[in-house]
Structure formats: C-alpha cells, structure tokens
A and B are shown apart, each in its own frame.
Chain A
Amino acid sequence: MTRPSTQPSKYKETPTLKAVLIKIIALGLLDAVVVYALFVLFLKESWVAFVLVAIGLVAINWIYLTRRALPAKYLAPGIVFLIIFQLFAVGYSAYIAFTNFGDGHNSTREDAIDSIVAKSLQRVENSPTYDLTVLDQLGTYSFLVTEPDGTVSLGNVESPLEPVDNAQLSGSGKAIGLDGYTALDFAGILANQQAISALAVPLTDNPSDGALRTPDGSKAFLYESTLKYDEAAGSFTDETSGTVFIDRGNGQFETAEGETIQPGWKIDVGFANFARAFGEEEIRRPLIGVVIWTFAFAILSVATTFALGLFLAVVFNDARMKGRRFYRVIAILPYAFPAFLSALVWAGLMNRDFGFINQVLLGGADVPWLTDPVLAKVSILIVNLWLGFPYMFLVSTGALQAIPDEIVEAAKVDGAKPWALFRHIKLPLLMVSLAPLLISSFAFNFNNFNLIYMLTGGGPRDIGADVNVGATDILITLVYKVAFGSVAGRDYGLASAFAIIIFIVVATVSVIGFRQTKALEDLN
C-alpha cells in the first residue's frame, strides 16, 4: 500500500442528527420486535432459541451502538441471513441424517405413547350413549350422565359411577345439575377442554369394565382399552393376550419376537443411516449405477451446452454476421422459460405415439424417446442441451467481448490462422473467467432434479430390479424417492444421509476444479 494512511478519515466525523435519529428509530423497532419474540419463546419454553435470539439482540445492539466495529456494521445483516437461510437448513438436515425420522418415527416418545393409548381405546360394543353434563366442584370435574332409560349417575376419576336421585332434570329428562356442584356451560367446557377430554370415569370398581369418556362435552361413551401403559416400566401390555411391548432403545415398543406397535418415535441413530446407504444390499446395488449415470449426465450436460453455447457465441460475435441481435434474442429464449415447465412440454413432445417429434418431424415414426432406457438418457441430454446452452451462450459472449482487440490483432499480425487464434489465444483467455462457471454448472446439473423428475420421473424402470430405480434416476431423484417413500416408506433420515454424501461429492469435485482453475490463471 502506497497511500498515506495517517490522514484523519472523514468517516470519523460526528454523524448528523438525522442519521442518529434513523439509527435510534431502526434499532428501537428492532429491539421491540425481538423483545416480543423473546417473550413468545419464553412462554413456549424454547430455551435454545431464546438464548440464541437474546445473544443476537445484544450483539446487534452492540455493533450498531459502538463507535468501533465498522466492518461488523456492514457484515452483520448478511451474517444473520446466512445463519437463518443457510447454516440452519444445512445444520438441520445434517442432524436429520443422524436420526430415524420418517414414517412411523415422526414425533417424540410422549406423543407416541399418547397416540397408542388413544388408538387402543375402543368403544364397548352395544354400550349406550350417555347424555352428559360436566360438573365442577372446587376444580374437580365430575360426569353427570343420563342413560337412555333415564337413570342418572354421577362419577369422577376417583369414584366410579353411582346413581343419584336428587339431580335437576331438564324438560326432556336429561340431568342438568346437582346440588353442591356447578354445571359447566359450553364455554366453560371449552375453556377446560384438555382436562375434560382426558377425563376417564370408571364404570365400576373393576377397571376392566371400562370407563366413560366424552369426545364432545355433551355425550359420553363407554370405552375399554386393550393396551395398558406401565409408567414405571415404560412398557405396554396387551390385556387380552398378555403380550408385553418394551422400549428397546430403537424408537418403538417391541416384543421379544420383534412385533411392534405403531407409532414409534424419533431417536438419534448415529451413523446407522450412512451404514445403510452403503451396507444394505437393496440400496447399494442400484447406487453404483446411479452414481455413474449422475456423473455422466452432469459432465456431458456441461460439455454439450458449453460447446454449443461457445460455438454460437463465436459465430454471433463475428462482425460479418448479419442480424446478430435478432439471433442472439432467439438463442436466449429457452433460458427465459421456467425449466420445469419446459421439461413438461418436452415430455409431451417426445411422447412416442402422440408427440410432435415422432408425429410431425419424423413423419409418424415410432421412436420410444422416453420409454427406452438408452434413448431416455439421450433424450435427457438433448433436452438439457436445449435448456442449458443459452446460459453458456450468454457467458461466453460476455467473456469473448472482454478479450482486448489488441491481443487478437497482435496474433493476426503474427500470422495466426483463425483456428489457431481461437485454440491458443481466445480459448485460454475465456477459460480463466468461464472455468468457475463451468464448475458451478456441473454442481447444478449434478443435482438437476427438475429436469429428470419432470421429463421421465427417473424412468423407465427396469422391472427386473428389486428397487424402484429407473434408468435416468440421478442421485438427487433417488434421494427424493427414498425421502418420499417409493423405495421403502418415507425415510427422511436415510434421505438426509444421502444428501450429505452428495454434498461431499459435489464439494470435492468443486474444490479440485477450482484448484485447476488457479493453475489456468497462472498461464496468463
């Protein structure tokens, strides 16, 4: 650095009143909102989020109130966005890869127990419908029920149903009140829904006779439960068969024979998902083919689109070409349509019997563009070429025009022929600026889900294979199939593990690629 740095910077001047006011108002608004958010988090008892937001609040106030930390003032918003939109998403999917999250393991152990208890409650067959009035006595709720024959009984959690004879009756003979108790109106019932819907009033002293529960606060039914939960042992017992289901630490209640009850719950499984991705025969076998095709697809896509895009760029860049502007607009049109829509349209065009290509262009030919395993791969590449070359054309045009005319002139003076001029002068110069774009294009195509999903859906499938993997499936569509269930039920854990593997592959390829790019730069 040669510039003198001893002069007082103009940025150190006292800020204007307007700037201070804006700063105070903006920070004040921000603090108000965040403090409200903290309240909400506190009430919801989300402690981790609470602490993180609190730290963020203090940090942001410090950054904008202090006179130091000038770079932080510019960086802070970006960093906050980075944390929310990138790190959180990446971190969360990484976390999922270490759990058994998926169908049947959807929530916490407590939820699973609640669900099992609820679904094992069966209404006793042929039991009557009881008209119900919910009574409150010093915070204890009781059921005042009227049987269809007019018998009125009272009971609560502690004491089973007992007939009462001094109840107040409505015109229709329904008991609606009792001395010493407050009858709850509907609003009162609603205000205490959770307590009342959880209330089970035993029919008799014998618990196996069942208990009355109410689904809606105005009627009660007799239910019995076949599965009993033992809080101390943490296990379920089937009352009829005596089978015991124990929590064996694999996220579900299970008998010694491996019989389970649904639902299970989400647990951490360590590296089990990664072990499955490589170890389980039915996943590993198709994986190899898919990996090869994914690389072939990504590399060929970049190569073909770049070749065509660059060729057009060179042609349209030639001053002798007439109507260049018109052609350029035409050439970037495919880029202007949403890619997934284009893929759908192409799927229609390539239909064997009804598609435009076979019917019109090929005069009624019978080419199975999308249903033959090899042709489907070719079709994918063709469509991707159509979708991808405008981008390459655009960036190549830009890079070409950035090459100084003097260099080209100098080469011509030295006697370079057009091909040599392109091969030895223009192309190396182009590659310096284009290589990083080619690498990112590779990474994009490596995960080009839209195209595959919309054009062939991964098909055609080989029905001889045991797994639902088609000829054109790439890794990311395989992940989709794993995550959303056409392989073996929804398995988000396994899908996340795959996603991490894909990330590692793409990252490795990109790092190597960028190293090579640096070497290119050294050429100049």
Chain B
Amino acid sequence: MKRAGIAAVFTIATLALAGCAGGGGNEGGEAGSTLTIWVDANRADALKDVIQTFEDDNGVTVKVVQKEFGDTLKEDFTKQVPTGKGPDVVVGAHDWLGSWVQNGVVAPLTVDNAADFQDVATQAMSYEGQQYGLPVSIENIALIRNTDLDPDPHDTFDEMIATGEDLVAAGTVEFPFIVQVGANADPYHMYPIQTSFGAPVFGTNADGSYNADDLQLANEGGDKFAAKLVEWGKSGVLNVSVDGDIAIENFVNKKSPYIITGPWNLPRIKEAGINYSIEAVPSAGGEPSQPFVGVQGFFVSAKTDNALLANKFVVEYLGSEEVQTSIFEKGGRAPALKTAFDAAQSNPDVAAFGEVGAAGVPQPSIPAMGQVWSDWGATEAALIAGSAGDPKAAWQKMADTIATKIKG
C-alpha cells in the first residue's frame, strides 16, 4: 500500500510537472520580465557579459538554455514554437532559415544598421526579401597547406595535385591531397572544386537570392566536374573511404600536404605543431573556386510574448561590436559586423579564411536545398567509387531527380 501510494505521488507529480513545463519562458507571471534564449555552450560563454548588461539596463531576467548547436536545436525550435514552449530568441545557422520560414516559426527582424554588417551575412540572413536573423559569425572552408611539405601556393588544382603526387612518389607523404568524402560523399567540401567548373547549385534572381526553379548543377561545367570525379577517384586523389575523422587525422600526421577544411579543425592542426597557410582552393576548371559561406546568428521566435524585448536584445545588444568580438574570440569564426571583422583581421587565420569567404557564396537557405544534398552526395560518391557508369549520364540523372523532387 505504502509503495503504491508513493508511486502514485510520483506519477501525478510527473503529470503536474509536464503541465507546468508548458509555461516555458513565457509563464513567469507578468509578461516581459523574463526572456528565454536558446544558445550553444560556446556562445553562452561569450554572451555572459552582455546578458548581465542587458538585465541591468532593462530590469529583466534572461533565462539561458544551453543546447547543442545542430539539427536537434533546429528541430526542437520548429516543433516547440507552435506549442508556445519555444524560446524568445534562438541561435541558428542561416541555412535553417528557409525551413523555419516555411514553418512560420521565426519573425522578421528590423535591423536599422544592416549596412554595418558584411553583405554576405545580411544576404544570408534574408529570405524572400525580408531579414530574419542578426548575423554574428561567418565561416567557410578553405585549402590548408602544410608549408613544410610544400612551401609554395599553386594556381591550379592540377598543379597542386602534381606536386602532391611528386611528394607521394618521393615517399614523403601518403596522399597527394585530402578532403573528406565519406560513403555518401560530401558535396559541401567538394563545392569549391565544383564551382571552379562553373557549376553552382542554383541560379540567382536579380536581387541575388537563389532561384529554386533554376537548377544549375547539371550545366556543362557540371558534366566536366563529374568526369573529373571519376578520374580523381581512379587516381586516388579522392576516396570515399576518407571520412572527416580520417581526413584530419592524416593531415595532422603529415601524411598529406593539403586538406580542404574549415576553421573548426584549426585547433587540432595548431596542436600538432604544423606550419600552415590558409588559401583559396586552386581552380580545377578554370573559374574561381567558391566555397559555401555559412552564417550563424540569432533569431526571434514568431510566437514570442516578448517581441519588443527580444528585438531590443538581438538588434541593439547582440549587434554591438563588443559582443561580436567576444563571440569571435570564443568561437574563432569571423565576426559579421564590419568593424568587429576589421578588428579581427589582426588574427591571420581569420583574415585568411575571411579572404577566401569573401569570394564565396552563401549556402542556399531555400527549402529546395533540402532536396539536393542526398542525391548530390550519393552521385558524387558513386562517381568517385567508379560505380556510376557514364559520368555525364549519372550527373544528368541526378539533376533530373532533384528537379523532380523540388517540383514536388
């Protein structure tokens, strides 16, 4: 009897708590006294001071909920906002924006000083002509070259590979070049190579936004790229067995002179004591190589009860140079605010990645992009593995499939 009673108490307590949990940040009595934000650990650290200032300035409390940056955060936000349990402000990547707008979970943002931010950042945070997020950091991939193994930069991809192959022949390294591919390939890391053949994913509208109906993947340049993938797969330049872990592992162990990767791997490279140079991926197809640029920033929920407070916090406080610099110092990614970006140039890594990124394009955030990745990666993997048959036919088939899916 006693045990049963206790179990029942627990049960009902669970029920009651589940009921209360519905309140989230908006239940705290009088509206406006508490602002709930979802943020990842890195940025939560960087935001401590500004949150304190914000609380003092406005006599409010900010509830910080730490979440791991990634798909779960994106999904949780999509699912919880409609139920009223979501946060007032959330950190996010710009390429989630299309899906968030499609689901009506983010509110447009009026940023008075949009011109003070880098163009690529503002553009990335905009969707259908509206700005939704306040950009804080920019990241992109670039070529990292081990300057001890190869002291000179190269103008073309082929020249670089030739140098790499000489080093392999001399027994200095094992791989002429390394980039993460994996069983399902990695179109994100391959994109600079692909664009150097003049084959972007989507064409653009007059205002610079992506046009989902204008799939450019399979233009002439795309066919050449596909043919090259087969060639590189045969010669061992690209290998589907190389996933992200294996790629960086081999680079820090000096088994390859080059790697295409992003700032997130810099700490490991530094730790290994490698002398490196960060530069644009040399052009393989004659045209400039353009990596995808990813922008991270803060968004305001469409269903917040604290719209005014949330906007004030995001636009006035997170848009300040101190905050942008502080987030940069914690995360090592270039700030989106021009003044903070200029100040960050004193860090050579940021300057180098920034220069490569300046020539890049924002990763498309339109929902159609969600239909692209899977077929794109699978086809690249099959081409590299040599199991795709005729490269042009396989590449065109991929484009047709993607186009059909986008039309729905």
Contact = CB atoms under 8 A, between A and B. Distances in A.
Nearest to B380: A463
B102 A104 contact: yes
A229 to B, nearest CB: 14
B68 to A, nearest CB: 17
A476 interface: no
A232 interface: no
B309 A84 contact: no
Contacts of A33: 9, 12-13, 16
B308 A121 contact: no
B31 A193 contact: yes
A26 interface: yes
Contacts of A218: 312
Contact of B82 (A107, A353, A456, A460): A107
Contacts of A426: none
A111 B128 contact: no
Contact of B303 (A73, A111, A263): A111
A488 B241 contact: no
A196 B110 CA distance: 16
Contacts of A194: 31, 305, 307
B404 A190 contact: no
Given A60-B8, A191-B30, A457-B183, A122 B308 contact: no
Nearest to A105: B103
A352 interface: yes
Interface in A56-108: 56-57, 60, 64, 73-74, 76-77, 80-81, 84, 103-104, 106-108
B223 to A, nearest CB: 16
B13 to A, nearest CB: 5
Interface stretch (A154-162, A209-217, A288-296): A209-217
Interface string A9-48: 0000000000100110011011001101100110010100
B112 A262 contact: no
A351 interface: yes
Contacts of A191: 30-32
Interface stretch (B189-197, B334-342, B350-358, B371-379): B371-379
A488 B308 contact: no
Contacts of B305: 193-194
B19 interface: yes
A489 B31 CA distance: 35
Interface string B373-402: 111001101100100100000100110010
A190 B9 contact: no
B311 interface: yes
Interface string A428-460: 000000000000000000000000000011011
B371 A106 contact: no
A81 B8 CA distance: 9
B153 interface: no
A119 B16 contact: no
B108 interface: yes
Given A121-B108, A193-B32, A463-B398, A488 B371 contact: yes
Interface in B1-24: 1-2, 4-9, 11-16, 19-20, 22-23
B370 A40 contact: no
A118 B183 contact: no
A196 B306 CA distance: 11
B2 A49 contact: no
B246 A27 contact: no
A197 interface: yes
Contacts of B408: 488
A263 B128 CA distance: 13
Contacts of A41: 19
A22 B78 contact: no
Contacts of A353: 239, 241-242
B5, B107, B303, B375 interface centre (most CB from chain A within 10 Å): B5
B2 to A, nearest CB: 5
B397 A463 contact: yes
B308 A215 contact: yes
Nearest to A470: B378
B308 A216 contact: yes
A371 B32 contact: no
B212 interface: no
Nearest to B250: A354
Contact of B374 (A46, A106, A468): A468
Given A27-B5, A119-B108, A262 B31 contact: no
B397 A262 contact: no
A379 to B, nearest CB: 12
A521 interface: no
B16 A122 contact: no
B370 A463 contact: no
24 contacts: A19-B2, A27-B5, A36-B16, A56-B15, A77-B7, A80-B12, A84-B14, A103-B103, A104-B102, A118-B302, A122-B129, A129-B112, A186-B59, A190-B306, A193-B32, A194-B305, A352-B240, A353-B242, A368-B385, A371-B240, A457-B183, A459-B378, A463-B375, A463-B394
- Give me the 7 closest cross-chain CB pairs, A-B, nearest first: A190-B32, A115-B104, A107-B82, A37-B16, A263-B104, A77-B7, A353-B241
Given A106-B105, A196-B308, 8 more contacts: A23-B1, A64-B4, A84-B15, A104-B102, A186-B58, A193-B305, A216-B316, A352-B240
